[in-house]
């Protein structure tokens, strides 16, 4: 977990559970970040995207989703790919879950001063200028 989220994130996570459930914190670190993330078969970005997808689909995991969106950015996953994951997921987990996930992503992007991914993903309407331009698209 320290390698993925950094010492500050790991220490804060463990401290948040120290008084009530220290074993739970240890289980998360040892099992999820030791055993699961250490397995072969998926590279780190694929594991992180799977984690984002699962947390968003579950709902009620906004705190964890926020943390993992930050980690995804830290390991080089683009904001556009994160948003596209949630857009794609809307067909499978539902629009409310996707909207909540996009809202969390927007908060993380804003806190990190990350340029909005939205205009990278918008498909232009035929005959209208692409978003952010004054030039009609050539479709």
Tokens encoding 12: 């804060």
pLDDT over 70 percentage in the chain? 81
- CATH 1.20.1290.10 region(s) of the chain? 43-121
Residue 134 has pLDDT above 60, yes or no: no
Confidence bin at 89 (pLDDT 50/70/90): very high
CATH of range 43-121; options 1.20.1290.10, 1.10.760.10, 3.40.640.10, 3.40.50.300: 1.20.1290.10
Q: What is the pTM of this model?
A: 0.77
Among 32-41, 47-56, 77-86, 111-120, the least confident range: 111-120
CA–CA gap between residue 51 and residue 58 (Å, rounded): 11
């Amino acid at each position: 977990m320290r390698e993925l989220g950094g010492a500050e994130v790991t220490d804060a996570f463990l401290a948040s559970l120290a008084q009530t459930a220290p074993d739970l914190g240890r289980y998360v670190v040892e099992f999820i970040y030791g055993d699961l993330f250490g397995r072969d078969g998926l590279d780190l970005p694929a594991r992180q995207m799977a984690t984002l997808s699962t947390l968003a689909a579950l709902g009620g995991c906004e705190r964890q989703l926020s943390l993992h969106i930050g980690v995804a950015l830290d390991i080089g996953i683009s904001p556009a790919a994160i948003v596209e994951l949630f857009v794609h997921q809307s067909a499978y987990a539902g629009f409310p879950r996707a909207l909540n996930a996009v809202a969390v992503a927007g908060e993380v992007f804003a806190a990190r001063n990350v340029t909005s991914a939205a205009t990278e993903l918008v498909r232009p309407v035929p005959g209208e200028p692409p978003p952010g331009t004054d030039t009609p698209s050539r479709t």
